[in-house]
């Protein structure tokens, strides 16, 4: 088992960009990956609805963009493509999951987006929910009492923008320990190291070392994934381990960051969709979505999984009837 929880979905959907996505997925299969999540990015412009005063300050081009864009249609389009990909790769031993990352600049702009994403009445729910803070206020949203910590379970992953310097905030032990104790994992994206332009490979090393330092060397807290937009930026197990050793991590952590930590992260997300507060689960397997339909004795009706008994299992009833005669 190997996991890669960040394969970005293209911002503007064309035939070429989706071809590129399929290429990266097929290279991941070649490299023995089994669990892969496709990532949809939400910038603050997408979910924020500006007030009247803010509208007056904007230029005409921005206003037109704002009116044309609709978040609901965009998410529907994403799930349409996601289903197509699921059908295509279902035979090839690859499990696909959907993931959303919300970029936070100012927590006041968020509104009710987390409530809408996690509403149980929503037919299309994301398996994983991640947060990308752009400023110090965005990071403090995680530790605030009014913010995400009150409904902490709705968030699984914390990521950072590794291609640029963290502008204006410095990570501390105290805040990161508080976040990771609740089960939220911190993500490292390794694709930035192959990008030579704009000194982004140097920035990646600087940022990643800062993250590893505050997360207690990443023993139970860190996960590693590609953020690869091209298929050439994806690497196998041995190459990823060499990158991790370059960052100063010990050898016993490599398999944890590729296998165990991301799987527990996935379990957290799937249990949120399938169960009531991790007590009672519906269905047979949490990680599988629709695979058990193939069996004849099982059936799904309105989300419930129904098992039909066959002639072999009727022994119980016969026992009872015998007892009644006696």
Partner 1 sequence: MNLSGSFVKEVLLSKSKGDIDSLEERIKPHLVVAPLQKKILKAKNDKFELKKGNHNGPILKHLLKQNSYKVTNKISKIALNSYIKGSKINVKKAKGIISKKNKLNNTVLSKQKMYACIEKDHAEVFKSLPPSYEKMYENLYLKMWVPYIHQVLKIDISKSYKETLNKLNLQVCLLKLAISDYNGCKIKITKTENKSLMGKEGIVIWDSQKSFIIVCKNEEDTFNEIKIIPKKKSIFEIRVPVSIDIKEEVIFHIIGDRFQHRSSDRVGKKFKNKNTKDISYYIFNDDLYKSSNSS
Chain positions contacting partner 1, by CB under 8 A? 120, 152-153, 181-183, 220, 260, 263-264, 267-268, 271-272, 275-287, 301-309, 316-317, 319-320, 322-324, 326
Closer residue to partner 1 (CB): 29 or 286: 286
At its nearest, how many Å lie between partner 1 and the CB of residue 130? 16
Closer residue to partner 1 (CB): 171 or 263: 263
At its nearest, how many Å lie between partner 1 and the CB of residue 326? 7
At its nearest, how many Å lie between partner 1 and the CB of residue 37? 15
Of 150, 161, 160, 96, which is closest to residue 127 (Cα–Cα)?
96
Sheet holding 185-189, edge to edge: 3-8, 35-42, 95-104, 128-133, 157-158, 185-189, 222-225
- Pull the structure tokens for residue 48: 């924020």
Closer residue to partner 1 (CB): 167 or 277: 277
Closer residue to partner 1 (CB): 46 or 286: 286
Closer residue to partner 1 (CB): 74 or 313: 313
At its nearest, how many Å lie between partner 1 and the CB of residue 214? 18
What is the rounded CA–CA span in Å between residue 78 and residue 117? 14
At its nearest, how many Å lie between partner 1 and the CB of residue 241? 21
Of 138, 131, 130, which is closest to residue 109 (Cα–Cα)?
138
Of 157, 120, 131, which is closest to residue 274 (Cα–Cα)?
120
Residues 100 and 269: beta-carbon distance below 8 Å? no
Closer residue to partner 1 (CB): 13 or 305: 305
As to burial, measured by CB atoms within 10 angstroms (0-12 exposed, 13-18 middle, 19+ buried), residue 207 is buried
Closer residue to partner 1 (CB): 182 or 209: 182
At its nearest, how many Å lie between partner 1 and the CB of residue 96? 17
What is the rounded CA–CA span in Å between residue 236 and residue 4? 11
What is the rounded CA–CA span in Å between residue 205 and residue 185? 19
Q: What is the dihedral sign for C-alpha 143, 219, 187, 289?
A: negative
At its nearest, how many Å lie between partner 1 and the CB of residue 267? 5
Closer residue to partner 1 (CB): 101 or 261: 261
Closer residue to partner 1 (CB): 46 or 263: 263
Residues 119 and 273: beta-carbon distance below 8 Å? no
- The three-class DSSP label of residue 189 is strand
Task: List the end-to-end C-alpha distance of the chain, in Å, as a whole number.
Answer: 55
What is the rounded CA–CA span in Å between residue 17 and residue 28? 17
């Amino acid at each position: 088992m190997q996991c890669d929880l960040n394969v970005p979905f293209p911002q503007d959907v064309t035939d070429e960009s989706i071809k590129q996505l399929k290429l990266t997925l097929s290279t991941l299969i070649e490299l023995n990956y089994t669990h892969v999540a496709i990532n949809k990015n939400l910038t603050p412009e997408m979910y924020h609805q500006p007030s009247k005063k803010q509208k007056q300050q904007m230029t005409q081009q921005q206003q037109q963009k704002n009116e044309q864009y609709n978040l609901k249609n965009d998410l529907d389009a994403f799930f349409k493509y996601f289903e197509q990909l699921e059908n295509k790769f279902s035979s090839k031993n690859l499990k696909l999951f959907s993931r959303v990352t919300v970029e936070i600049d100012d927590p006041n702009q968020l509104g009710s987006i987390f409530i809408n994403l996690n509403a149980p009445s929503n037919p299309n729910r994301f398996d994983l929910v991640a947060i990308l803070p752009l400023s110090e206020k965005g990071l403090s949203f995680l530790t605030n009492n009014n913010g995400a910590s009150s409904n902490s379970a709705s968030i699984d992953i914390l990521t950072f923008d590794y291609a640029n310097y963290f502008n204006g905030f410095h990570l501390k032990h105290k805040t990161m320990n508080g976040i990771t104790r609740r089960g939220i994992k911190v993500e490292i994206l390794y694709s930035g190291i192959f990008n030579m332009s704009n000194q982004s490979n140097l920035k990646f090393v600087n940022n990643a070392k800062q993250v590893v330092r505050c997360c207690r060397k990443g023993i139970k807290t860190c996960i590693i994934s590609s953020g690869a937009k091209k298929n050439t930026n994806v690497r196998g197990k041995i190459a990823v381990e060499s990158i991790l050793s370059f960052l100063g991590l010990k050898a016993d952590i490599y398999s944890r960051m590729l296998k165990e930590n991301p799987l527990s992260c996935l379990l957290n997300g799937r249990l949120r969709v399938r169960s009531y507060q991790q007590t009672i689960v519906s269905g047979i397997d949490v990680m599988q979505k629709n695979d058990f339909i193939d069996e004849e004795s099982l059936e799904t009706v309105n989300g419930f999984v129904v098992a039909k008994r066959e002639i072999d299992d009727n022994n119980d009833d016969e026992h009872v009837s015998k007892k009644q005669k006696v």
